């Protein structure tokens, strides 16, 4: 029951910040409540609380393997948000409250052990993120919000349909129709096959939309490109991980129902397609925030590929969630600095940022190398592990295509990053640069980058244990 | 019981065709609202007269949400946007109707091939749900005004709701209520965004939302 605090603390913060009268001091709620959440999450990581398998919400091994990383990313974004909102005089009541609400709902989604609760939490996160995406209030931001709502809403509706199908599979197989994961796993082999397959396809498309797998990714570049950098970081590192974890949990049910070959194949196909589509768009886009969105699609593809390789692949996927989340956070926050100084995110308008914002540019370049899997950052080690597992599983062709996509992605990312950073400064409004590189806007992204480096070089034993424990939960049934 | 159930579901499917064939947004919103009320009454029939307060509560909440709150929000969005008709749909009204009819037939065929409980075989629950879902997609794809697309989304949600009634004995009311709450809040937020789009673009034509692309 203690783990419910992870949900209730951010909710309390959201309520208090919505009632707080001062626009100037309200953003301070973010780091305070985020810090409390992170401390609690890491406390549970080192001392896992016991849980009741029948509970709807519990800090089970899978939540333990992922949620602390999301919490850490949120903490960095919350610290950044304080100095970010100081320069935005507009009313931030809804923004701060919605941000804390998102944290609470993310915690609920990660801990959900009931398909219905999982759906409610995911849908609620989708809705709570809406005011975050159109915070800047430009027509382009509303266009992005509309696409996000329509594509995301349709996707999430399909996952509800899939959840109902899984419930009917249980009923038709003689079960009680109980859609807690515990009951579904126990019932595994008896589930009605046709309904299980229909459920998997719908749930894969539904939660895949939320993750941003191609071809359901169309909302992603718009939403990430037009929203503030912190929002992009939280969507890319937090909301996607809830959706991916939902797919991991659901896949364990499908495996138990004896359809693991079909589930793995569809995951692998969708993952490879996403990686390829993202790599091709990375070669084309001219906007460095949209670039980050395509990079996120690529990494969601990598996660799906890893998840299709059975238990060792899932371990690598859990590792990659952490390394992608932390590195992506560093990239989004440093890119936000560049965009705020240059008042544009297109490589046609922005040049020579290394002379204007030297520190942010350095973090941006280092983050680019980190996310394209250059050693010794964490994504290098997690992707290496995925490749090893894939080759071990005899998926040589898939790994070959995967490596080719990584190469294309590296070319695309480095093309844009160096175009923005190098050269003589050329800005839209050269005389209007107000942004100073204070600790408040540099430290969070630097800390995330250091965390990514540290995770790669010295993956802590407690995390390795947490990931292995999560595998026991997912693959307990033979 | 089953006859009344089939009658209500049949009426709901009939309202699909009204929604597909009209260019007047007011009528479209009314059709969706009526569909919501019809479907909201179904749980009372399925429980075979066993009244408990949770069931009554969920019925009232569904009927109020789908039949009154959401349509009121849409009507208000329509008035502020000052539009009454969908003039240039991607898919014309006659084609929409034909597609809708084809979707209904397809729904019946698909439902016959699904393994169902004997008590669900004769009922229109499953084919009705599939028909509503497909109709929702036709409206989502075929219309250009934001409000019509939201109505399409609502019909899609209605279909999923109808499908969810298969599990009415298995899922706890709390979960169903959470789902309903999410849907209502979702439409509320969509209503706000529609309003903002109207102010930012001076139009509710989603074809104008084309600034973001590669």
ipTM score of the complex? Answer: 0.91
Q: pLDDT class for B49, splitting at 50, 70, 90?
A: low
- Three-class SS of residue A356? helix
CA distance linking residue A435 with residue A41, whole number of Å: 34
Task: Say if A140 is an interface residue toward chain B (CB within 8 Å).
Answer: yes
Task: Say if A114 is an interface residue toward chain B (CB within 8 Å).
Answer: yes
Nearest CB partner across the interface for B167, out of A134, A177, A285 = A177
CA distance linking residue A205 with residue A118, whole number of Å: 16
Q: Do A142 and B200 make contact, defined as CB atoms within 8 angstroms? A: yes
Task: Say if A155 is an interface residue toward chain B (CB within 8 Å).
Answer: no
What region, left, alpha or beta, does residue A137 occupy, with left being phi > 0 and alpha being psi -120 to 50 degrees? Answer: left
Q: Which of A52-66, B73-87, B170-184 is predicted least confidently?
A: B170-184
CA distance linking residue B12 with residue A353, whole number of Å: 59
SS3 of chain A: helix, strand, coil, percent, to 5: 75, 0, 20
Tell me the whole-structure pTM to 2 decimals: 0.93
Task: Write the secondary structure of B10-71 as one string of H (helix), E (strand) and C (coil).
Answer: HHHHHHHHHHHHCCEHHHHHHHHHHHHHHHHHHHHHHCCCCCCHHHHHHHHHHHHHHHHHHH
Kindly list the domain boundaries of chain A, sorted by start residue.
2-475
pLDDT of B53 strictly over 80: no
Tell me which chain A residue has its CA closest to the CA of residue B134. Answer: A158
Taking residue B11's Cβ as centre, other Cβ atoms within 10 Å add up to: 14
Q: Do B175 and A117 make contact, defined as CB atoms within 8 angstroms? A: yes
Highest mean pLDDT among A171-185, B5-19, B168-182: B5-19
Contact A282, A198 (CB under 8 A): no
Q: What is the pLDDT of residue B79?
A: 82
Positions of chain A with pLDDT lower than 50, given as ranges: 478
Query: Residue B52 burial by CB count (10 A; 0-12/13-18/19+): exposed, middle or buried?
Result: exposed
Q: pLDDT class for B51, splitting at 50, 70, 90?
A: low
Q: Do B179 and A194 make contact, defined as CB atoms within 8 angstroms? A: no
DSSP A235: I
DSSP B93: H
Task: Say if A130 is an interface residue toward chain B (CB within 8 Å).
Answer: yes
Q: What is the pLDDT of residue A129?
A: 92
A57, A94, A134, A143: which to substitute to probe chain B, counting the most B Cβ within 10 Å? A143
Q: What is the pLDDT of residue A356?
A: 87
* Residue B206 backbone phi and psi in degrees, to 5: -70, -10
Of the CA atoms within 13 Å of residue B158, those in its CB half-sphere come to 35
Cα dist from A275 to A212, A249, A290, A313, B212, whole Å: 11, 22, 15, 17, 21
Query: Residue A353 burial by CB count (10 A; 0-12/13-18/19+): exposed, middle or buried?
Result: buried
pLDDT of B87 strictly over 80: no
Q: What is the pLDDT of residue B77?
A: 79
Q: What is the pLDDT of residue A431?
A: 61
- Three-class SS of residue A57? strand
Q: What is the pLDDT of residue B207?
A: 76
Cis peptide before A376 (omega within 30 of 0): yes
Q: What is the pLDDT of chain B when averaged over all its residues?
A: 83
Q: What is the pLDDT of residue B122?
A: 78
């Amino acid at each position: 029951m203690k783990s419910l605090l992870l949900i209730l603390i951010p909710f309390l913060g959201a309520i208090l910040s919505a009632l707080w009268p001062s626009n100037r001091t309200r953003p301070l709620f973010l780091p305070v409540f985020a810090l409390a959440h992170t401390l609690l999450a890491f406390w549970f990581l080192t001392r896992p609380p016991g849980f009741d398998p029948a509970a709807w919400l519990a800090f089970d091994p899978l939540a333990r393997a992922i949620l602390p990383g999301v919490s850490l990313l949120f903490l960095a974004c919350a610290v950044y948000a304080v100095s970010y909102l100081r320069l935005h005089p507009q009313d931030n009541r809804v923004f701060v409250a919605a941000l804390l609400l998102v944290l609470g709902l993310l915690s609920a989604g990660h801990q959900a052990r009931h398909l219905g609760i999982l759906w409610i939490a995911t849908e609620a996160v989708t809705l709570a993120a809406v005011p975050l995406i159109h915070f800047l209030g430009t027509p382009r931001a509303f266009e992005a919000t509309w696409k996000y709502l329509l594509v995301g809403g349709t996707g999430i509706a399909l996952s509800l349909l899939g959840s109902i199908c899984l419930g009917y599979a249980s009923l038709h197989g003689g079960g009680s129709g109980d859609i807690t994961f515990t009951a579904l796993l126990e019932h595994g082999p008896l589930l009605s096959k046709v309904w299980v397959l229909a459920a998997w396809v719908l749930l894969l498309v539904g939660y895949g939309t939320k993750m941003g797998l191609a071809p359901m990714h169309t909302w992603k570049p718009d939403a990430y490109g037009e929203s503030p950098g912190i929002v992009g970081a939280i969507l890319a590192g937090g909301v996607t991980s809830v959706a991916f974890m939902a797919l991991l949990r659901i896949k364990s049910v499908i495996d138990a129902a004896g359809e693991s070959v079909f589930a793995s194949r569809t995951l692998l196909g969708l993952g490879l397609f996403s990686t390829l589509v993202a790599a091709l768009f990375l070669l084309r886009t001219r906007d460095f925030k949209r670039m980050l969105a395509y990079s996120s699609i690529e990494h969601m593809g990598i996660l799906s590929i890893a998840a299709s390789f059975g238990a060792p692949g899932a371990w690598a996927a859990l590792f990659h969630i952490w390394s992608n989340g932390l590195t992506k956070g560093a990239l989004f926050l440093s890119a936000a600095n560049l965009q705020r100084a240059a008042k544009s995110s297109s490589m046609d308008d922005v040049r020579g940022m290394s002379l204007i914002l030297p520190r942010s540019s350095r973090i941006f370049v280092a983050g680019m190398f980190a996310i394209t899997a250059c050693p010794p950052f964490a994504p290098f080690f997690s992707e290496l592990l995925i490749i090893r597992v894939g080759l071990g599983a005899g998926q040589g062709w898939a790994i070959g295509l995967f490596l080719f996509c990584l190469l294309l992605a590296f070319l695309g990312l480095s093309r844009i990053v160096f175009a923005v950073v190098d050269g003589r400064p050329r800005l839209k409004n050269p005389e209007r640069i107000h942004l100073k590189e204070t600790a408040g806007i540099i430290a969070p992204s630097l800390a995330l980058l250091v965390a990514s480096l540290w995770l790669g070089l010295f993956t802590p034993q407690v995390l390795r244990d947490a990931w292995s424990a999560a595998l026991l939960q997912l693959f307990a049934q033979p | 019981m089953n006859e009344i159930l089939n009658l209500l579901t049949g009426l709901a499917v009939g309202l699909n065709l009204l929604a597909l064939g009209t260019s007047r947004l007011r009528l479209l919103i009314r059709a969706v609202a009526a569909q919501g009320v019809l479907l909201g009454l179904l749980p009372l029939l399925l429980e075979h007269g066993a009244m408990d307060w949770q069931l009554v509560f969920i019925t009232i909440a569904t009927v109020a949400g789908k039949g009154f709150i959401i349509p009121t929000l849409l009507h208000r969005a329509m008035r502020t946007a000052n539009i009454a008709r969908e003039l240039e749909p991607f898919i014309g009204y006659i084609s929409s109707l034909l597609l809708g009819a084809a979707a209904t037939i397809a729904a019946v065929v698909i439902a016959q091939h699904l393994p169902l409980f004997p008590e669900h075989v004769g009922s229109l629950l499953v084919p009705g749900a599939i028909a509503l879902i497909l109709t929702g997609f036709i409206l989502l794809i075929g219309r250009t005004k934001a409000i019509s697309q939201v109505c399409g989304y609502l019909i899609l949600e209605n279909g999923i709701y109808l499908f969810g009634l298969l599990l009415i004995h298995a899922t706890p009311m709390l979960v169903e209520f959470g789902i309903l709450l999410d849907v209502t809040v979702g439409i509320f937020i969509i209503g706000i965004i529609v309003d903002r789009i109207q102010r930012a673009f001076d139009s509710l034509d989603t074809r104008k939302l084309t600034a973001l692309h590669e």
